[in-house]
Amino acid sequence: MALRFPPWRRGVFAPMSRPMPRYAFQVEYDGAPFAGWQRQADQPSVQGAIEAALAALEPGLPSIAAAGRTDAGVHATGQVAHADMGKDWDPFRLSEALNWHLKPAPVAIVACARVPDDWHARFSAIERRYTYRLIARRAPLVHEAGLAWHVRGGPPDASAMRAAAAHLVGRHDFTTFRASICQANSPVKTLDDVTVEVVPLPHGTEVRFHLRARSFLHNQVRSIVGTLERVGAGAWSPEDVLAALKAADRAACGPVAPPEGLYLTGVGYPADPFA
């Protein structure tokens, strides 16, 4: 009696390969111990920490992708990344397993969701939101050390900073506020909003700069905040900021704010994958 094999065993059909299921992650991290988001061979990175945790679950997975590559020392409360897994996971169980393997790194998966195979953390994004924290007071920071920019002195002039920030909203050539090593194809960006929020503290003042745009240039947020701080201190006028913008010259920029005050707080998509 002749053996009968299924069609693909007889060379008629090949078994269909199933695409790897894709998962989106919302990620929090303290950027202080890392050389930035991007994986590096000889320095710790946020990407490297998450990929090591994923490898503990499923060795040999492809690299993960993120909505934005934060620099060394920059934090996140709303970074978004995606990974292709080899098997179907319950999103809650996947996030729990990753958080277990991420310990003791200051990185946490705060949300996880299955997404379509063509969804991309970076290229599907339509908005990115950053917050920069500045604390003005004479005494050194203790509990907020490494989590905000400490500026010695009295409260900055919030009205002047808001007037200066208004000049930056809209579509402009942001060459002045762009790092010399920026790899973007064009310095022209649309800054949708800059909000200056003042929070009184028992011993000082915290200023939170909230910036929103589809995408940002390298060091754009820190360059803007460092320039606005000069306005708040009375060293620059709002009109000086407008002149610096129109100069389209990196030399016209104010000082660049340090990384420890910067947070990637959110990424927007046409449909919220974590809803």
> Structural domains in the chain?
22-124 (3.30.70.580), 127-267 (3.30.70.660)
71 given a catalytic annotation:
yes
* Catalytic option among 30, 42, 71, 173: 71
pLDDT band at residue 241, thresholds of 50, 70 and 90? Answer: very high
pLDDT, mean of residues 194-199: 98
First-residue to last-residue Cα distance in the chain: 58
Does 85 score more than 60 pLDDT?
yes
Give the model's pLDDT for residue 8.
44
pLDDT band at residue 2, thresholds of 50, 70 and 90? Answer: low
Does 201 score more than 50 pLDDT?
yes
Does a cis peptide bond (omega within 30 degrees of 0) precede residue 7? no
pTM score of the predicted model: 0.92
Long-range contacts of 139-145, Cβ-Cβ distance < 8 Å, separation of 24 or more: 139/203, 139/204
pLDDT, mean of residues 145-158: 96
Say how far apart CA 87 and CA 20 lie, in whole Å. 7
Q: How many CA atoms lie within 13 A of 91 on its CB side?
A: 18
Average pLDDT across the chain, whole number:
94
Least confident of 6-10, 235-239, 255-259, 267-271: 6-10
Give the model's pLDDT for residue 17.
57
DSSP 166-230: HTTSEEEE-GGGS-TT---S-SEEEEEEEEEEEEEETTEEEEEEEEEES---TTHHHHHHHHHHH
pLDDT digits (tens, 9 = 90+) for 203-234: 999 999 999 999 999 999 999 999 999 999 99
pLDDT band at residue 13, thresholds of 50, 70 and 90? Answer: very low
Query: Would you say 136 and 199 are in contact if contact means Cβ atoms under 8 Å apart?
Result: no
Does 250 score more than 90 pLDDT?
yes
pLDDT, mean of residues 22-30: 98
Percent of the chain with pLDDT over 90: 92
Amino acid at 20: M
pLDDT digits (tens, 9 = 90+) for 59-77: 999 999 999 999 999 999 9
Give the model's pLDDT for residue 14.
43
